[in-house]
Amino acid sequence: MEQYIAEKVSNWLNGSYDEESKASIRKMSVEELTEAFYKDLEFGTGGLRGIMGVGSNRINAYTLGAATQGLANYLQKCYPDQPKKVAIAYDSRNNSKEFAQIVANVFSANYIEVFLFESLRPTPLLSFAIRHLGCQSGVVLTASHNPKEYNGYKAYWNDGGQVVPPHDKNIIAEVEKIKHLEQILFEQRSEFIKNIGTELDEAYLKNLLGLSLNPATIKKQNNLSIVYSALHGTGITLVPAALAQLGFTNVHLVEAQSISDGNFPTVVYPNPEEEEAMRMALELGHKVQADVVMATDPDADRVGIAVRNDHGKLILLNGNQTAALLVAYIIEAWQKTGRLNGKQMVIKTIVTTDLIKAIAENNNIKCYETLTGFKYIAELIRTLEGQEQFIVGGEESYGYMIGDAVRDKDAVASCALIAEMCAHAKENGISLYQKLKEIYVRYGFYSESLMSVTKKGKKGLEDIEAMMQNWRNNQPQAFGGSKVVQFLDYKHLVEKDLQTHNVKRLDFPKSNVLQFVTEDGSRISVRPSGTEPKIKFYVSVRTVLHKIEDFDAKQAYLNEKLAKIKQELNA
């Protein structure tokens, strides 16, 4: 065992940790100890996230306690002369409720007022609650769509967005100052903890109702057949209520997956990006002749959907396609009602389809790009507040934000607007699949594919870093038969034009992401995941679709190109 790991293990065995944790450590192999202690959990794309268990690289009462104490200390520094308030929510994962109580106890012990949700609630409601209650910060206990062994801790700032630089690094710096367990104040001060019931649900749903763009259409199409699955998570608390509030009366729930259960017994992974996770919802959709099928992840910030193709078969859409549909629907509705005044904006991440940019700019709306993670989208909204109005944004990993009352991806509002745009399409005699084809004709035919390579543990982390370094040092000359003409390195913040040899500085925070752009407009992005032990390869290709009748031939062409590039990546 490496010396620094042995020292950390010794600190746990000889410190004031509980005897059950110490007993677990004594039973662990050298390999298990290495994985549990080789690093401390850090704030990544989605906050702290890891496997539950004993150790500094695991989610447990002590790592969460240290993170909360560090956040509490940082809040004291940032807001020294005012009362401090935080909101806390949790999802359906095993131990989430108990972890939420520990986090509440630590905040209260630091004389910080806590608003703690009485029962599980979606992440977007936590974001909404922070601004609604005037909190300086907030925390949600969740590991989003990760497997059941995981849990996590998303920290938010006063705008309802997740913490971004420099706050994330500053909080970690405060956590690193905690050298002894006694520095963490675990003892609850009950007078500082207030429980939140359904009053926040009502305020959130009232705001969501204001996002509806075609209530008259819903009234005519209220019998739209909708299937919804919560995948054993928090979506069941608000998605059915949101759909009912808009006026939809024919909603079918996947009952077996409406039960909140952190073991996620009916799926391998509770991730709506995976076809297997959507299986039960698709089966029910077939049975009830659904127009649209939707499923949300455990903390209800991502949503996957299926719509009917030209042959009446339910097919899954990817995150880029759903994002493009939402952006087009919302922009076109705003345009028809005369709400566009030149000050609106759309935001997407750098690995999300450029189709969104094409839709926005074709309608004279600015489209901004950020690094992966809705915390960066929220940060940009805050920066431009009062100057430009955010109307919609999204990322390829099935997350979308509509309006700015919630400053994180919001599957509850997304489900509501997806159902509404499906009703609007049906009112106009088409399906969402056919609407997507119309978008391709009008704005360009873009197609994307994602490859992920899993590399677990300490060795995996080293392998991923080596892979990134190899891509950085041995840049490819071409992809799919088209010459690479542009190279972007977000870690070193350089953009190189490989034809003119001009070099520009990228105006982004540093991030370990590489992008290659080819002469024909293909874009290949490489980045380590910030939430899972994976390296991800994003491939985007495009062509022109002059008429819908050419769709099949053009799709076959793009599929062939995607397959060739993925083969060349050899990941």
Give Cα 183 to chain centroid, integer Å.
33
Amino acid making up residue 276: E
Element (H, E) at 162: none
What are the residue ranges spanned by the domains of the chain? 1-38, 42-202, 222-316, 319-409, 446-569
SS (H, E, C) 421-457: HHHHHHHCCCCHHHHHHHHHHHHCEEEEEEEEEECCH
Q: What is the pLDDT of residue 542?
A: 97
SS (H, E, C) 257-287: HCCCCCCCCCCCCCCCCCCHHHHHHHHHHHH
pLDDT category at 549 given cuts 50, 70, 90 is very high
Query: Out of 3.40.50.300, 1.20.210.10, 3.40.120.10, 3.60.20.10, which CATH number does the structure's domain 319-409 have?
Result: 3.40.120.10
Equal CATH topology for 42-202 and 222-316: yes
Q: What is the pLDDT of residue 471?
A: 94
DSSP-based three-state secondary structure for 182: helix
Please name the fold of domain 42-202.
Alpha-D-Glucose-1,6-Bisphosphate; Chain A, domain 3 (3.40.120)
Residue 474's CB is within 10 A of a number of other CB atoms, namely 7
- pLDDT tens per residue across span 252-288: 999 999 999 999 999 999 999 999 999 999 999 999 9
Helices (H) and strands (E) in the chain, counts: 18, 23
User: Can you read off the two tokens belonging to residue 530?
Assistant: 């910030």
Query: What Å distances lie between residue 139 and 72, 124, 373, 557, CA to CA?
Result: 11, 11, 16, 46
Q: How many CA atoms lie within 13 A of 254 on its CB side?
A: 28
- pLDDT tens per residue across span 327-353: 999 999 999 999 999 999 999 999 999
Percent of the chain predicted with pLDDT > 90: 93
Q: What is the pLDDT of residue 346?
A: 98
For residues 357-386, average pLDDT: 96
CA dist., res. 161 & res. 410, Å (int): 12
Q: What is the pLDDT of residue 77?
A: 97
User: Can you read off the two tokens belonging to residue 325?
Assistant: 């549909």
What does residue 413 show for φ and ψ, rounded to 5 degrees? -65, -35
Segments of 230-343 assigned E as strands: 251-253, 292-296, 303-308, 314-316
Instruction: State the average pLDDT for the chain.
Output: 96
Cα distance from N-terminal residue to C-terminal residue, the chain: 31
Q: What is the pLDDT of residue 532?
A: 75
Q: Quick check: 344 and 334 in contact, CB under 8 A?
A: yes
As a whole number of angstroms, the longest Cα–Cα distance in the chain is 72
Q: What is the pLDDT of residue 44?
A: 67
User: Can you read off the two tokens belonging to residue 182?
Assistant: 């006694």
For residues 373-387, average pLDDT: 95
- The residues near 23 (Cβ < 8 Å, ≥ 6 apart) are none
- The residues near 230 (Cβ < 8 Å, ≥ 6 apart) are 236, 239, 253, 254, 257, 258, 260, 295, 296, 300
pLDDT category at 530 given cuts 50, 70, 90 is confident
Single pTM value for the model: 0.95
414 belongs to the catalytic site: no
Q: What is the pLDDT of residue 45?
A: 60
Peptide bond into 166 cis (omega under 30): yes
CA dist., res. 176 & res. 538, Å (int): 34
For residue 540, pLDDT over 80 is answered with yes
DSSP annotation of 163: P
For residues 348-369, average pLDDT: 97
Q: What is the pLDDT of residue 449?
A: 95
Q: What is the pLDDT of residue 169?
A: 87
Task: Please tell me the CATH superfamily of domain 222-316, with its number.
Answer: Alpha-D-Glucose-1,6-Bisphosphate, subunit A, domain 3 (3.40.120.10)
- pLDDT tens per residue across span 472-528: 999 999 999 999 999 999 999 999 999 999 999 999 999 999 999 999 999 999 999
Nearest-10 crossing angle of helices 319-336, 411-427: 70
DSSP annotation of 528: E
Query: Out of 3.10.450, 3.30.310, 3.40.50, 3.40.190, which CATH number does the structure's domain 446-569 have?
Result: 3.30.310
Q: Tokens 């659904």, residue?
A: 290
Question: CA triplet 227, 231, 236: central angle to 5 degrees?
Answer: 70
CA dist., res. 223 & res. 291, Å (int): 10
Nearest-10 crossing angle of helices 432-443, 319-336: 80
Query: What Å distances lie between residue 478 and 485, 516, 518, CA to CA?
Result: 9, 9, 7
For residue 533, pLDDT over 90 is answered with no
For residue 571, pLDDT over 60 is answered with no
For residues 403-432, average pLDDT: 97
pLDDT category at 443 given cuts 50, 70, 90 is very high
User: Can you read off the two tokens belonging to residue 363?
Assistant: 């309608």
DSSP-based three-state secondary structure for 422: helix
For residue 131, pLDDT over 70 is answered with yes
pLDDT category at 47 given cuts 50, 70, 90 is confident
Give Cα 250 to chain centroid, integer Å.
28
Q: Quick check: 448 and 438 in contact, CB under 8 A?
A: no
Q: What is the pLDDT of residue 46?
A: 63
Choosing from 127, 144, 229, 447, the catalytic residue is 144
Element (H, E) at 115: strand 113-117
Residue 450's CB is within 10 A of a number of other CB atoms, namely 18
Q: What is the pLDDT of residue 269?
A: 93
